Amino acid sequence: MDVGQSSYYKDFHLEQTTNQRFIQYLDSRLIDLQKQGAKIIEVNHSPKTHYLLTVNFDCSTIEKAELYKYIKDNNIVELIYTGFHYPICVTETRPLSAYNTVRNRDLETVSIAIQLTRSTRGFFKMPLHDTVSHGVQQVML
């Protein structure tokens, strides 16, 4: 999941109330998923987590080697991405985004929880199915 400080996100201020409420909802959802046994991994592109997130991360890293070691050590076979921004940071522009981790041999599936991501205005009409051509599925959590 990628939700760093809002100053790092393009146009965060244009929908600040919605974005903050999204972060609070995401936080609540991640806490519930963690209680059900999910590992919550923070892979921000910066080391600063957004102040509205209270979930206790099982792993927090900006380093690919550290993420891959955590995946292997914990027998994780599926990553599901959440956060900002679909289809940019969550999918391809960050070193730890979905398109860049799909090649990890320890993973069977890389997915995006589409209702737990936010987009920027420029991508509101981006077809969701485009991720499948990159080997990344979409799921509902």
Answer whether 2's CB lies under 8 Å from 90's CB. yes
Which is nearest to 96 in space by CA: 48, 58, 47, 42? Answer: 42
44-101: pLDDT as tens digits: 777 788 888 999 999 999 899 999 999 999 999 999 999 887 777 788 888 899 999 9
CB atoms within 10 A of CB 41: 20
Contact residues for 122 (Cβ-Cβ < 8 A; gap 6+): none
pTM (predicted TM-score) = 0.88
Instruction: Identify the pLDDT of residue 9.
Output: 62
Q: What Cα–Cα distance (Å) separates residue 28 from each residue in 33, 54, 62, 116?
A: 9, 9, 23, 11
Contact residues for 102 (Cβ-Cβ < 8 A; gap 6+): 110, 134, 135, 136
Residue 102 pLDDT class (50, 70, 90 cuts): very high
